[in-house]
Structure 1
Amino acid sequence: MKLYFAPGACSMGIHVILEEIGKPYELAPVALKEGAQHKPEFQAVNPKSKVPALELDGEGRALTEWPAIALYLAGSNPEANLMPRDPAAQARALEAIDYVTGTIHPNAFTRQFRPGNFSVREEDHPQVIEQAQQNAEKFFNLVEKNWAGDTWVLPEGYSVADAALFFVEYWQAKRVGKPLPPKLDRHLKAMLERPAVKRVLEQEGMPA
């Protein structure tokens, strides 16, 4: 397997899952800030021009989209116990992943990191960023209010949902420098203690 990733991007969560599984894989960095995602070499891998993308052994094309990659890795490596067996619990895991990747990521962080995608008028960018920061606070407070697990997202224990929540928590605390609600702050600290997460941060050159 080969993971196409960018250091500190949402692909970091998939990188964590690969480290949790412990099977061999390759890393292929994509320089997003230099526009490498739009160049023919990477578009041949993922025409959507984004990370993560996972090249599977023996497959003709890469698997794309965070939830799909996470589901594949958990399902094809059941011994890693990264997805609960119960269908209702599986649905809860996917529910959490979808909220992170479909709501928190684009509306709280893409808006902050790339305000030009949301307004061509540069004078509007501070307002776009402010709205995104308000969204982040609202979204994280909602996750906090509906927290059903103990240390981990699901009562059943650690899962791919934790790797999803981790990357947006990391952005909020480490990149934006804003506080997290208490349960999410505890979750982030627990994630940072996991050996797989420590290896990923070291490999991607990101601060712990």
Structure 2
Amino acid sequence: MKPALTPVPRLHHAGAVAGLVAGQRTVPEEAAVAFHYNGRSHAVMMATPADLEDFAVGFSLAESLVASAQDITDIQVRPAVGDGIDVHITTRGGAADTDPGKHHHRLTGPSGCGLCGVQCTQNALRPVQWVRRPVARWTAETVAMAMQGLQGAQQLNRQARALHAAGFWAPGPQGGLVAVREDIGRHCALDKLAGALARQGVHGGGGARQRGWEPAC
């Protein structure tokens, strides 16, 4: 399958004397990721080909296709036509709610907003469930520490400097940066993070989600 990062040749302007200098830089890849539920095609998303099992769980939860990560019994990631990737998701008792009349994507979802392909505004603006947990309180020092931790944990972005990251920080003496996921698309990074937390059994009400990004240079 296509790697998450690829080295490519580049020309760098090194000043009036040296002029153009040939070199190399690393760029993030993007692939068409097709989600199939219980043998039925549901949606195709453009995403960085990394942490796809987490992406499958997070996407399923965000789209309300399953009620919990425990409803998913198997995930198979397979190469598809060209550089595409098929992700086959099996749910307990065929529980995935992929009714086309509710939230079926019929178009490819690019790496922008995550709304492309939904069939109506009701699907794009579904009610949000409140997190019914005690609200964590944060000091300015904790916020700064969380942001510094996120920047240091962006392994892909450290090489390519062109990816978004979503991280989850838990407060307290035993807290810290719980998980970080990266993608060329913001919403894909967040779905991957949600899936990673769900697979680890981490409740979202026990910390804070943070997002980071560093432009290419």
Q: TM-score, normalised by structure 1?
A: 0.28
Structure with the larger strand share: 2
Structure with the larger helix share: 1
Q: Which has the higher Rg, Structure 1 or Structure 2?
A: 2
Q: TM-score, normalised by structure 2?
A: 0.27
